[in-house]
Amino acid sequence: MNPPTIADLRARKGGRKILTMHVDSDAEAAAAAEAGIEMFTCEVNETLAGYRAAAPGVFIQAGPDQGVLSGPETAIREGFRAMEIGADGIYFSGGLDIIEAMAREGIPVTGHVGYVPRWTTWTNVRAVGKTPDEAVAIYRQVKDLESAGAWAVEMEIVPVEVAAFITRSTSLVTEGMGCGAVCDTIYLFSCDVLGTHTGHYPRHSKRYADLVAEEARLQRMRVDAFKAYARDVETGGYPEPGHEVHVGDEVLEALERATKG
């Protein structure tokens, strides 16, 4: 099964929401694909090929580490490299000249506006777009991405009304995280959905599992099993006759003869 194309995803704009997830392992990729998640985000690293193999029918947006796409030439080279190892497009929250260079070469690029984690020092962790000036700035950033040739944009923690206005006003597919249900895709991180960490859970997240507690339970089972094994060895409970292989006297007699020969 092949992943959807850009044309397929653009045709969905304004229709049924596109399910999007950031995944952190091959197992998560396979589970998300089986559950019907249609787009992933992930990093460009040694895990990407595994995600591709685990989820061949999912559209993967892969983000290079900050600073790797340092200019148009490196962006084109690294963009094609990422696509060779499994990405369907590049996720990039950086300069328009770099986005434009990749787009000219046919590399699908997803931009990022609103709350952008690497820009936290300028905004703090908060909703972005609550003032008229910020809302207009986000709109203009999206239009700039559109002009630069991006095909999609993540809007993160943008007020619902602002996200709805922009989604209606752009040809880009909007990927909403913390923007209510008004964007073209609904996007969450697997670590928040699965409850795999003990840190802060954003307001827009929702836990559907508690894998931290489950992993603690499994770790206790591991410790208990190892302790039981150690006790069995110390008390003679392991190994039992059923765990052993025995031979007859003729084998021992042959060994005796071999030592005397």
Active site residue 156: yes
Side chain identity at 176, as an amino acid letter?
G
**CA–CA distances in Å: residue 190 to residues 42, 48, 82, 180, 232:** 11, 16, 22, 18, 41
Distance CA 5, CA 2 (A): 9
| Tokens of residue 193, six digits | 């959905």
The catalytic residue among 156, 161, 175, 234 is 156
Residues 6+ positions from 88 with CB-CB distance below 8 Å: 3, 59, 60, 61, 108
Among 149, 91, 60, 179, smallest CA distance to 167 is for 179
Distance CA 34, CA 56 (A): 11
Q: Where are the beta strands (DSSP E) in the chain?
A: 18-22, 39-43, 59-63, 89-91, 109-114, 152-156, 173-177, 185-189
**Residues labelled as active-site residues:** 156
